[in-house]
Amino acid sequence: MNYPDSVQFLYALGNEVKTAKLGLERITAVLEALGRPQDRLRIVHVAGTNGKGSTCAMIEAALRTAEHSTGLFTSPHLAEPTERIAIDGAPVSAERFAAAFDRVHGVVEELLAAGRIDLHTTYFETVTAMALLLFAEAEVEWTVLEVGLGGRLDATNVVTPELCVITAIDFDHEAFLGRSLEAIAGEKAGILKAGVAAVFSRQRAEAAAVLEVRAAQLSIAVARTEAWSIDELEMDARGSRFLLVGERELRIACPLAGEHQVENAATAAVALTRLGISDSEIEAGIAAARWPGRLERVSEKPEIIVDGAHNPAGARALAAYIERFYTGRRVRLIFGAMRDKALDEMSGILFPLAEEVIVTAPRQARATAPAAICGLSDHPRLRTAAHLEEALEMLRGCPPEDAIFITGSLFLVAEARRLLVK
């Protein structure tokens, strides 16, 4: 298939969360038929609720700074599925993506015909296999692999990594992962493996207890960011600078905005010490990291910031950012989200911080109707817009000192970037 056809087929497999079939049988069979490409890779495997993508981006950037060739697998994408599979810092070409899809899809069809798997691999399973195949064929020196959903039964959990990293654990996808932090942490801890060292971000007590029990059961070495102090912290609306002090002293300049990125940068730095990366390479690599769509400023006048805060933890991080850096300024909020999200909690966190809220819907079948979100809030200045273009038009002419935030869904963020990023 050509690239558009391969993307269309992937989309036809259905939403990767709603059609998730947790289990490793299909992906294992497919990778076996492909010659187990994962066994030819040195992998850093990263799980968590929020922050795992940006942590992956910082680890990968530092590995490249250290002159290692890299593969980076993340999800979801913002504009094109090719973004999920990056080699040496650049998304794979449409041609390579389509060729990898053809190979994986062909193997899946053979396995189905032979009765060796029950169903076609899901969107996420298929792209996971494609990524591992492309990274192995490119002979990258390091692969940074982001977990999709949970950990224990996630399609990425067919690998034996060199290092496991678990970022902050919070509530999200409770229907799949459990209704308590302990249950969710148990799923994330499923990536831990005997003989493979781990790095843990600072965690809430309930999650930390589960991770520690599992690590003890496996007798693995764990580096904890809480054992490192964060000194001389300076933050502004565009990033942070701090001295990370533990076994070594690292002067970190994190270009990713938000207080929550301080912990993510610290986690990435501690992980990189375990990979043998030098202090100067860690510092330069993290400083060079980029992670679009997360507190990303896409316009200066007016100031427009997009942020993929799609769960309560993300909403709290965005609220903390607004309260720290935008107190005293009028904030206009454009919000749209998917039906499977904790909309009551997210709107309760974010809407009170805004002078005006415009509720809209991403152009996705699973998007929540704006009127339904309005019913959750008694905000005095709340309006609806059928789509993002209309919402932006409604804010045209607002005072130049006001700040506009677009958030609630990465799908909405992707639409905003297509409209606003030149």
DSSP 338: B
Q: Is the pLDDT of residue 133 over 60?
A: yes
pLDDT confidence band for 175 (50 / 70 / 90): low
Average of pLDDT values for 6-32?
Answer: 82
Q: pLDDT value at position 78?
A: 92
Average of pLDDT values for 402-408?
Answer: 97
296-420 fold: Protein-Tyrosine Phosphatase; Chain A (3.90.190)
Number of Cβ within 10 Å of residue 157's Cβ equals: 22
Average of pLDDT values for 250-266?
Answer: 97
- What pTM was estimated for this model as a whole? 0.93
Q: Is the pLDDT of residue 35 over 90?
A: yes
- Report the C-alpha dihedral over residues 55, 59, 65, 68, rounded to 10 degrees: -150
pLDDT 10s digits, 53-112:
999 999 999 999 999 999 999 998 999 999 999 999 999 999 999 999 999 999 999 999
Q: Is the pLDDT of residue 20 over 70?
A: no
The mean pLDDT value of the chain amounts to: 94
Rama region for 168: left / alpha / beta (φ>0; ψ in -120 to 50; rest): beta
Residue-by-residue DSSP string for 344-403: HHHHHHHGGG-SEEEE---SSTTBPPHHHHHTT---SSEEE-SSHHHHHHHTTT--TT-E
Q: Which residue has the higher pLDDT, 16 or 356?
A: 356
**CATH code of the domain occupying 3-287:** 3.40.1190.10
Q: pLDDT value at position 310?
A: 85
Coil, strand, or helix at residue 414? helix
Q: Is the pLDDT of residue 421 over 80?
A: yes
pLDDT confidence band for 5 (50 / 70 / 90): very high
Q: Is the pLDDT of residue 402 over 60?
A: yes
Q: Is the pLDDT of residue 177 over 90?
A: no
d(CA 201, CA 199): 7
pLDDT 10s digits, 304-345:
999 999 889 899 999 999 999 999 999 999 999 988 788 999
Q: pLDDT value at position 23?
A: 80
Ordered by start, the domain boundaries in the chain are 3-287, 296-420
For residue 248, which phi and psi values (nearest 5 degrees)?
-135, 170
Average of pLDDT values for 384-396?
Answer: 97
Q: Is the pLDDT of residue 199 over 70?
A: yes
Q: Is the pLDDT of residue 257 over 70?
A: yes
Tell me the sheet residues that pair with 146: 46
For residue 382, give every residue at least 6 positions away whose Cβ sits within 8 Å of its Cβ, in sequence order, or none: 351, 356, 357, 358, 359, 374
Strands 382-384 and 356-359, by their bridges, are parallel
